[in-house]
């Protein structure tokens, strides 16, 4: 039986935006903390808004802000953010039945707005038989607007509170990655690559303090260990 064609409509965008409302509420604290961290790192309100609007990645932003320096370590920060966001390379093709039918701004706009939350919602909609690719764009746009606005509110709050360095609130950047890891743990099979990644990351941070190199080094070492493990098991 032939499936109906994939479309991209305004109605689909509105449906996606409405479906994202629970996610918007859940990510408000995350956006506020990101804005506060940006203020603590010395970014102006305009710089913070531009960062949230163009990066639109809470984990990557907190990672960079937690290691901010002057002058900014552009190359290592870019590599670190790329490493953190590599998961999107795997997430995007899952929505291929929609994305493969899109062109121009519809495709690139949807990819830019793709984050963990609206990806999960869009996957559920697609598996339920949805054929309107505007759904993922609408959900992502709603989340983007919320992220920019609430992180700006967080920046303003940070300017008022003036939290000292080492305040428990700044533990959020580490907590985000701990939560991401917890959801991916598959058991003892992951122990070796995780241990190698952690060891290399810690060693690199001691050898090259104040840089993002430990993130890239740990990710590469853990990935290679996992690849060798899988080859040996075959």
Strand-pair partners of 132: 7
The percent helix, strand, coil of the chain (3-state, each to 5) is 75, 0, 25
Interatomic CA distance for residues 63 and 68, integer angstroms: 9
CA-based R_g, the chain, Å: 19
Inter-residue contact 77 to 215 (CB < 8 Å): no
pLDDT surpassing 90 at residue 149 = yes
Element (H, E) at 193: helix 191-207
Residue 101 neighbours by CB under 8 Å, 6+ apart: 5, 6, 133
pLDDT score of 2: 61
Structure tokens at 173: 């950047």
Spacing of C-alpha 112 from chain mean position: 11
Judged by average pLDDT, the poorest of 98-107, 160-169, 190-199, 213-222 is 160-169
Q: What is the residue whose two structure tokens read 């039986």?
A: 1
pLDDT tens-digit profile of 10-35? 999 999 999 999 888 888 888 888 89
Question: What is the mean pLDDT of the segment spanning 48-55?
Answer: 93
pLDDT above 70: percentage of residues in the chain: 86
Q: Record the pTM.
A: 0.75
Judged by average pLDDT, the poorest of 51-65, 144-158, 215-229 is 215-229
Cα 51 to Cα 34, 139, 155, 204, distances in angstroms: 10, 20, 12, 27
């Amino acid at each position: 039986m032939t499936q109906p064609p994939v479309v991209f409509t305004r109605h689909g965008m509105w449906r996606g935006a409405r479906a994202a409302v629970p996610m918007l509420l859940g990510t408000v604290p995350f956006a506020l903390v990101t804005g506060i961290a940006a203020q603590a790192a010395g970014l102006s309100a305009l710089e913070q808004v531009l960062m949230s609007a163009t990066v639109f990645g809470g984990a990557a932003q907190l990672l960079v802000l937690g290691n901010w320096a002057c002058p900014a370590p552009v190359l290592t920060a870019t590599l670190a953010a790329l490493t953190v966001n590599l998961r999107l390379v795997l997430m995007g093709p899952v929505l291929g039945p929609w994305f493969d039918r899109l062109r121009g701004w519809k495709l690139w706009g949807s990819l830019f707005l793709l984050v963990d939350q609206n990806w999960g919602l869009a996957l559920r909609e697609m598996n339920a038989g949805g054929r309107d690719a505007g759904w993922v764009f609408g959900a992502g746009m709603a989340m983007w607007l919320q992220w920019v606005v609430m992180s700006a509110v967080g920046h303003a709050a940070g300017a008022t509170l003036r939290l000292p360095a080492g305040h428990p609130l700044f533990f959020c950047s580490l907590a985000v990655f701990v939560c991401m890891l917890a959801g991916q743990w598959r058991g003892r099979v992951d122990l070796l690559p995780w241990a190698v990644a952690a060891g290399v990351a810690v060693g690199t941070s001691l050898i090259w303090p104040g840089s993002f190199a430990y993130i890239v080094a740990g990710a590469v070492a853990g990935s290679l260990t996992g690849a060798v493990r899988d080859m040996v098991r075959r």
